[in-house]
Amino acid sequence: MPTKHAVLSASSSYRWLACPPSALECAKLPDTSSEFALQGTDAHSLCEYKVLSALGRDVVDPTKGLTFFDEEMDECATEYAEFVMEQVEAAKTVCKDPLVLIEQRLDFSRWVPGGFGTGDCVIVADDTLTVIDYKHGLGVLVDAEKNSQMMCYALGALQLFDGIYDINHVSMTIFQPRRDNVSTYQLEKDELLHWAETVLKPTAELAAKGDGEYHAGDHCCFCKIKATCRKRAEYNLELARYDFAVPSTLQDEEIEAVLAKVDELVNWASDVKDYALQQAISGKNWSGWKLVEGRSNRRYVNEEAVAAAVENAGFNPYEKKLLGITAMTKQLGKKRFEELLSNLVEKPQGKPVLVPESDKRPVMHTAADDFKEVTKEEK
């Protein structure tokens, strides 16, 4: 799998399209990785192998070299390969010989300086170009609708094949099995090209020069300078004018203004604290602050020796505890878990959460709603 990333990459386009100067600012800082990212890399390698095998190509099984391989990852990759093959078969109904590309380098530098990325799966057929992206992450639900990463990949694929195949439509799918999420967005080829010329290209030109205006928002989440960005600080400190007002004294529109920003405010404050802590650990002194040892809990220095000592004393050092649903699913695999335990698992109603109207979850039915209905009936 290709590992080099462009400064104006497709995967970070959601950020630099919203905040052009952030691209060069982030490029100045070293890349960091996480266990989740490494797990995703392993999952992509396995997905690549499964799809290529399903296509009948001679490939080496990477399983033994995967650090994070487990039953869940294997099932996710299998589901992905099955989904890809379904799309290939669908393409064959309209095109005698569709082209299937796996882990394909896609160059969209016609619109973005130095722009390239790697498409997990590209299916090229007459009338429709299909781009599929695998997401192994569990934390953030990824939507394909107007997803700039997917649109950049599609542009790169069009650059390669638009003159060879008669492409009129573009279909982009996010396949995120651990969230049971298969999200597809379709648009006309001309719509995509119009977006590329009127939105992507001019913004990318600004980003490549470090020009444009800083903007704070949800896109700050994975930005390398999110803790020290002045624009993000200004954006969040706008709420300071509400700090000394008792909530019950605020007008409805003021509370709504706070609700719109409070999650980002909490995230920003946490990012600043984490940054300050890491700097202090590295030797920086903050005026009025000091680095101290936090609370810690006692722990065994040798669990085997502890067990032996307790058993010799005539006691049982172990407790029998049922694995939780996540651990059990990981051990059995998703399909086997469903076969054995689906009738023994329930999902209780979640606690009420206040979210923006744009959230796709249905409105929760509350006791207040029941009371209103009863009152209407009585009238």
CATH label of the domain that carries residue 162: 3.90.320
User: Does 5 reside within a domain?
Assistant: no
Least confident of 1-15, 16-30, 293-307: 1-15
Is the confidence at residue 53, as pLDDT, over 70? yes
User: Does 233 reside within a domain?
Assistant: yes
User: Does 238 reside within a domain?
Assistant: yes
Could you tell me if 267 and 134 lie in one domain? no
Could you tell me if 43 and 189 lie in one domain? yes
Could you tell me if 241 and 111 lie in one domain? no
Q: Specify the residue for token string 């502890």.
A: 306
Q: How many independent structural domains does the chain possess?
A: 2
* Per-residue pLDDT, 2: 47
Could you tell me if 200 and 232 lie in one domain? no
Give the residue numbers spanning the domain of 166: 13-209
Mean pLDDT of 30-37: 86
User: Does 297 reside within a domain?
Assistant: no
Of 187 and 71, more confident = 187
Percent of the chain whose pLDDT exceeds 90 = 57
Mean pLDDT of 106-121: 94
Distance of CA 255 to the CA centre of its chain: 29
Beta bridge partners of 99: 124
How many Å apart are CA 90 and CA 18, to the nearest integer?
Answer: 36
Could you tell me if 98 and 247 lie in one domain? no
Mean pLDDT of 20-40: 90
Is the confidence at residue 245, as pLDDT, over 80? no
Could you tell me if 135 and 108 lie in one domain? yes
Could you tell me if 55 and 186 lie in one domain? yes
- Judge contact between 256 and 247, C-beta under 8 A: no
Mean pLDDT of 114-128: 93
Could you tell me if 197 and 272 lie in one domain? no
Token pair listed for 122: 């590209």
- Average pLDDT over all residues of the chain: 88
Is the confidence at residue 336, as pLDDT, over 70? yes
User: Does 160 reside within a domain?
Assistant: yes
Distance of CA 359 to the CA centre of its chain: 16
pLDDT tens profile 60-98? 999 999 999 998 899 999 999 999 999 999 999 988 889
Last residue of a domain, which of 181, 209, 237? 209
Nearest Cα residue to 153 out of 122, 182, 188, 181: 122
Could you tell me if 240 and 107 lie in one domain? no
* Per-residue pLDDT, 153: 97
User: Does 272 reside within a domain?
Assistant: yes
Q: How confident is the model at residue 379 (pLDDT cuts 50, 70, 90)?
A: low
Beta bridge partners of 172: 131, 185
Could you tell me if 26 and 60 lie in one domain? yes
User: Does 342 reside within a domain?
Assistant: no
* Per-residue pLDDT, 174: 97
Last residue of a domain, which of 257, 281, 305? 281
Is the confidence at residue 262, as pLDDT, over 60? yes
Could you tell me if 154 and 256 lie in one domain? no
Nearest Cα residue to 19 out of 191, 216, 152, 154: 216
| Length in residues, the chain | 379
Could you tell me if 21 and 104 lie in one domain? yes
Is the confidence at residue 369, as pLDDT, over 50? yes
